[in-house]
């Protein structure tokens, strides 16, 4: 049975009930354990754990220093295309939005690379909408060849692909692939995804399995917090992560915590709100239960929130992000996927980390032994 099949057998209402039944005693025993499991994660994200946040933060910070030292890895997204053949009601790139569509040429990508390198980054995340006929494998392979020559770490966030296609991306130099399930609630997923291949919940759910089978070095997971009840969605994300770690143990994993942000033509109706305090609780719970997993925070969050939360448990941070193609060499907000809150420059973010005793690192890893 694949991880996706195992997840599909897990009932949303059962998980929600288990989570909301957790007591203060469950939280205390989760905090006392040295090795924590999924049931501990449920306790730590439950309402019963809200009063334990200071304890959680202290333990999470200690584990983060133990595993990652003071380092925080910086990366930047490079949007290659905003073409998309899907209708997602929460996204500015959704196909019915009347925005100017573009796909960067190789010359335009070179200009973006030049602008990004000037900021100091050695780690880049290539992002596209999901349009397999106009921005598919041929385009990705050409872009990776160009970009890989300039960055020691290249990650991708594009449409779900087949196992063989992921093998080809890895062989071409892709180090990580991020694929967010958005929500693990099937009925809600159908409400938000109205047209296109993304409507296929099961194809998306099985994507991390295909990445694991392809031997991708790092796999990124996450849910878009707010699309469904956030605690239960996070419980499913953590279960997904835990099962993948057991099955595809050679890969590294990262988790992100995007909260829904306004975008052009936004029609999403949020089903839950995640407060700042609740997001900190979630981040600490991940660190306590998954000490070795990389936790990433994007520029969706405000400078103040990022400055205060990063020292607790975050080890990976985007900075100076532009969320539209061509945004670094020719900045405009006309084509944005969503609005960002932390608009500081890369050097300002790095300086802020240094001021908090952290060590900004401009890459993810270095190829030292000819991998």
Site residues (vs ligand SF4, CB under 6 A): 84, 86, 88, 91, 93-94, 129-130, 198
Q: How far is the CB of 8 from ligand SF4 (least distance, A)?
A: 21
**Cβ 299 vs Cβ 342: under 8 Å:** yes
Measured at the CA of 315, the angle between CA 314 and CA 318, to 5 degrees, comes to 90
Measured from the CB atom, is 86 or 242 closer to ligand SF4?
86
Measured from the CB atom, is 197 or 252 closer to ligand SF4?
197
Measured from the CB atom, is 94 or 340 closer to ligand SF4?
94
Number of H helices, E strands in the chain: 15, 11
Q: How far is the CB of 157 from ligand SF4 (least distance, A)?
A: 9
Measured from the CB atom, is 281 or 299 closer to ligand SF4?
299
* Structure tokens belonging to residue 40: 């501990």
Q: How far is CA 172 from the centre of its chain?
A: 22
Measured from the CB atom, is 89 or 162 closer to ligand SF4?
89
Measured from the CB atom, is 36 or 259 closer to ligand SF4?
259
- Which residues are registered as beta bridge partners of 254? 220, 294
Q: How far is the CB of 266 from ligand SF4 (least distance, A)?
A: 11
Measured at the CA of 209, the angle between CA 208 and CA 210, to 5 degrees, comes to 90
Q: How far is the CB of 146 from ligand SF4 (least distance, A)?
A: 22
Separation between Cα atoms, residue 131 and residue 292, nearest integer Å: 34
**Cβ 299 vs Cβ 340: under 8 Å:** yes
Q: How far is the CB of 5 from ligand SF4 (least distance, A)?
A: 24
Biggest CA–CA distance in the chain, Å, is 60
**Cβ 262 vs Cβ 338: under 8 Å:** yes
* Structure tokens belonging to residue 252: 């590294």
Q: How far is the CB of 122 from ligand SF4 (least distance, A)?
A: 26
């Amino acid at each position: 049975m694949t991880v996706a099949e195992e997840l599909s057998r897990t009932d949303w209402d059962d998980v929600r009930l288990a989570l909301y039944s957790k007591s203060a005693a469950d939280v205390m025993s989760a905090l006392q354990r040295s090795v924590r499991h999924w049931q501990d994660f449920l306790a730590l994200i439950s309402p019963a754990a809200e009063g334990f946040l200071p304890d959680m933060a202290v333990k999470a910070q200690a584990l983060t220093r133990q595993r990652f030292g003071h380092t925080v890895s910086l990366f930047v997204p490079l949007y290659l295309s905003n073409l998309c053949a899907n209708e997602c009601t929460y996204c500015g790139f959704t196909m019915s939005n009347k925005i100017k569509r573009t796909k960067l040429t190789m010359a335009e990508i070179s200009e973006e690379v030049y602008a990004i390198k000037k900021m100091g980054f050695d780690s880049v995340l290539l992002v596209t909408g999901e349009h397999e006929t106009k921005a598919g494998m041929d385009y990705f392979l050409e872009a990776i060849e160009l970009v890989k020559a300039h960055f020691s770490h290249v990650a991708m966030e594009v449409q779900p692909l087949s196992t063989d296609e992921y093998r080809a991306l890895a062989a071409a130099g892709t180090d990580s692939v991020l694929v967010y399930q958005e929500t693990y609630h099937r009925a809600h997923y159908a409400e938000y995804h109205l047209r296109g291949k993304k409507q296929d919940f099961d194809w998306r759910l099985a994507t991390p399995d295909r990445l694991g089978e392809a031997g991708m070095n790092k796999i990124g997971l996450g849910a878009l917090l707010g699309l469904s009840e956030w605690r239960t969605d996070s419980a499913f994300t953590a279960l997904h992560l835990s099962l993948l770690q057991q099955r595809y143990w050679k890969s590294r994993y990262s988790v992100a915590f995007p909260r829904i942000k306004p975008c052009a033509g936004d029609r999403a109706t949020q089903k839950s709100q995640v407060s700042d305090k609740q997001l900190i609780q979630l981040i600490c719970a991940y660190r306590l239960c998954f000490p070795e997993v990389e936790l990433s925070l994007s520029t969706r969050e405000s400078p103040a929130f990022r400055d205060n939360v990063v020292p607790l448990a975050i080890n990976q941070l985007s900075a100076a992000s532009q969320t539209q193609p061509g945004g670094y060499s020719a900045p405009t907000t006309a084509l944005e996927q969503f609005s960002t809150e932390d608009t500081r420059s890369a050097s300002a973010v790095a300086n802020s980390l240094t001021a908090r005793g952290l060590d900004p690192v401009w890459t993810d890893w270095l190829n030292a032994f000819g991998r």
